[in-house]
Structure 1
Amino acid sequence: MSLLNLCRGYKTISIIGLGKNTGKTVALNHLLSEINKEKIPIGITSIGRDGEDMDLVYDIEKPKIHVEKGTLIATTMELIYISSANVSIIEKTDYTSPLGDIVISKVESSGDIQIAGPQSISAIKDVSNKMLNIGGEFVIVDGAIDRKSSAAPSISDATIMATGGILSPDMDKVIEDTLHQVEVFSLPVIEDKESRSIIEGLMAQNKIAIIDKDLKINPINLQTALGGGKVLGERLDHKSKYVVVPGSLVKNTIKDLIDTTKIYKDIDIVIKDGTKIFINSRDWMKFKKQGIKVKVLNPINLIGITINPYCPNGPSFEPREFLNKMRKSISHIPVMDLVLEKSERM
């Protein structure tokens, strides 16, 4: 199965992992290999750091990121100096990271490179646009370990997600957690145009609010919804329609809301997108059964899932069994084991 074919037509593609050693860098290199065969000019950046020689947690060698001539890269000067690829600097940006100033460069001769891009969503979007304007056909945003923010629609048009045996020694639990992430990435969208306009305005101002059935706004004096479930519950009444939460949605907020009022069953909690949910699969299923409903302003376009049956600190899964079970559980999105498919072609 071709990752490149899944990416065609999009300008910004993020690759995220549900944890360390789920195969995110393998997916990135696989996609780069397909891109290089067709000599497509692209850009690469990262919201974290990738391409290091060793995994310091598990003390194992990590796959390097290999780039070919013509590739555009947004990374730090410090990492360019220690990379084997020869690059020329195109532009020094206004952004920095813990590893130094971010520059946009062009690969002049192929080699391995480490990538560490800007830390904020707005900065990632800006350097991606710069690379598109310079001549990149599309940009790949490499997500940080166990950090899903690069999948946000405000950054990327499409997302590839890597999952694997590192998440749990129980295959069914890995599939359950992966299904959970697919679900929160695909939450229903607020369709009503007038409601959307009001909610977008509140989100832009980072304001928590309750909106009633007449679309009247009742602002809530909270800086964050963290620990605010009881306050929200006390402010709900039978006219309430939406609870707008601009930031993160966590377990305790939902639990306190449920414990405070039964009216929560008649309202929709609205968040920006699925990257704002920080609730595990078991709690999420429990809350759904209790009647919690969550909607988003913007859904995440998950176009593919890659799996890694290998676990560096425990038993690994049988690759074909893992792939078949994952595909059976997630049939509406392409699921692939890139290493297995490569070995079967040899």
Structure 2
Amino acid sequence: MLLLTHLDEGLQTISVVGMAKNSGKTVTLNRLIEEAAESNTPIGLTSTGRDGEKIDIITLTEKPTVFVYEGTIVATAKETLLNSEVKLEILEVTNFNTPLGTVVIARALNNGFVEIAGPDTNSQIKDVASKMRYYGAKLVIVDGAINRRTVAAPSITDATILAAGAVISRDINRAVEETQHQVNLFNLEEIDKGIRHLVNSIFEEKKYAIIDKQGETTLMDIPTSLSNGRIIGGYINEGTSYVIISGSLVGKTLQDIMAASYFYKEVIFVVEDATKIFISPREWRLMKKRGLKVRVLNKINTLAVTINPTSPYGYGFEPQEFLKMMKETMFPLPVVDVMMEDN
């Protein structure tokens, strides 16, 4: 079971995030829906992209459909609502507009296939999740679209399940490494409680700042960290304790900071959560060896990793070998092959 063992933790929203397109995210989603139905757990369902269509509109290949059970609450755009085979009772028409029409909240009146395409922004996702809970969903599952891992952020969902698979790489070792890297980022250590309030206020104002050893804050006059690594490095000196990065943190920015200031080894770089970090496993490994320290304001609660040993590009891994490697590498995090009955 992926879902039921975690319900007693008071979770209200869970995201399912794919490492890459065709990593098995929709199969994971269907497995969660089935488990909820088996336990008579009322759920809500929405997506940050589009899911449940029979043909992928980008690759023009067949993809798994989404099957829901009577009583499921869905938040989806009008166009996908009309494409769904299940009979739906409209509960509310929101004021959230998408390229596929206004987002509608509805209840499934029977079992059947649905297409889902939810709101475009994280704040809207939070809003519709709250609405679905109002209409009776005990748990809301958010389907995270490709390149929308921000839905895993603690400010959006309470926990996440990471879907990985052979599609990541033809090299099984690299597929495992990439997945481990993402899990490690999700599990980054949180900053000390003593400065949480100060750091949170900086993030709320979307500022970039330096905090020195006396707790004094200096705001940096930059609109973004991108292409401004050397400027950030110029602010760092022997008295610096923390560097607060409100936006994305990429490898090139850190490389430029390291080149601009030797004192980077003495400070802790802080981002809001790991969805803001875009650094390859190799870059991350090398930077850690050079003394880089990164912390987060909010750690991501990763419930499990699901795997798909088959790639749509005509190759795959031996399922038991892939599962074994993933379990050993991710331990103690649960790893489940959703295509297998027993794991």
Q: Same fold (TM over 0.5)?
A: yes
Q: Distance in 2 between matches of 1:236 and 1:182?
A: 29
1:95-114 to structure 2, matched below 5 A, reads: 95-114=96-115
SS at match of 2:215: coil
Shift of 1:78: 1.1
Alignment correspondent of 2:167: 166
Query: Contact 1:6 / 1:304 at 8 angstroms: preserved in 2?
Result: no
- What is the root-mean-square deviation of aligned Cα atoms in Å? 1.3
* One-letter amino acid of the structure 2 residue matched with residue 183 of structure 1: N
Alignment correspondent of 1:45: 46
Query: Contact 1:43 / 1:131 at 8 angstroms: preserved in 2?
Result: yes
SS at match of 2:96: strand
Q: Distance in 1 between matches of 2:242 and 2:62?
A: 48
* One-letter amino acid of the structure 2 residue matched with residue 159 of structure 1: T
* One-letter amino acid of the structure 1 residue matched with residue 125 of structure 2: I
Alignment correspondent of 1:305: 305
* One-letter amino acid of the structure 2 residue matched with residue 170 of structure 1: D
* One-letter amino acid of the structure 1 residue matched with residue 90 of structure 2: I
Q: Give the TM-score, by structure 2 length.
A: 0.97
Shift of 1:2: 4.1
> Percent identity at matched positions?
42
SS at match of 1:284: helix
Query: Contact 1:169 / 1:314 at 8 angstroms: preserved in 2?
Result: no
SS at match of 1:172: helix
Shift of 1:47: 1.1
1:294-333 to structure 2, matched below 5 A, reads: 294-333=294-333
1:65-84 to structure 2, matched below 5 A, reads: 65-84=66-85
Alignment correspondent of 1:16: 17
Q: Describe the superposition over 1:301-338 as per-residue Cα deviations: whole angstroms up to 9, x where unpaired.
A: 00111000101114210000000011111111000101
Q: Does 1:130 align with 2:131?
A: yes
How many residues align structurally?
A: 342
Q: Distance in 2 between matches of 1:334 and 1:179?
A: 13
Shift of 1:87: 0.4
Shift of 1:90: 0.7
Shift of 1:8: 4.4
Query: Contact 1:244 / 1:271 at 8 angstroms: preserved in 2?
Result: yes
1:63-212 to structure 2, matched below 5 A, reads: 63-193=64-194, 195-212=195-212
Q: Distance in 2 between matches of 1:305 and 1:41?
A: 23
Q: Give the TM-score, by structure 1 length.
A: 0.96
Q: Distance in 2 between matches of 1:55 and 1:82?
A: 14
Q: Distance in 1 between matches of 2:128 and 2:60?
A: 32
Structure 2: state its 5+ residue gaps: none
Q: Describe the superposition over 1:84-141 as per-residue Cα deviations: whole angstroms up to 9, x where unpaired.
A: 0100111111211121111111111221111111111111001101111221111001
* One-letter amino acid of the structure 1 residue matched with residue 226 of structure 2: L
Query: Contact 2:237 / 2:261 at 8 angstroms: preserved in 1?
Result: no
SS at match of 1:160: strand
SS at match of 2:225: coil
SS at match of 1:88: strand
* One-letter amino acid of the structure 2 residue matched with residue 128 of structure 1: A
SS at match of 2:306: strand
Shift of 1:7: 4.5
Query: Contact 2:96 / 2:119 at 8 angstroms: preserved in 1?
Result: yes
Q: Distance in 1 between matches of 2:8 and 2:308?
A: 24
SS at match of 2:113: strand
Query: Contact 1:245 / 1:271 at 8 angstroms: preserved in 2?
Result: yes
Q: Distance in 2 between matches of 1:53 and 1:4?
A: 28
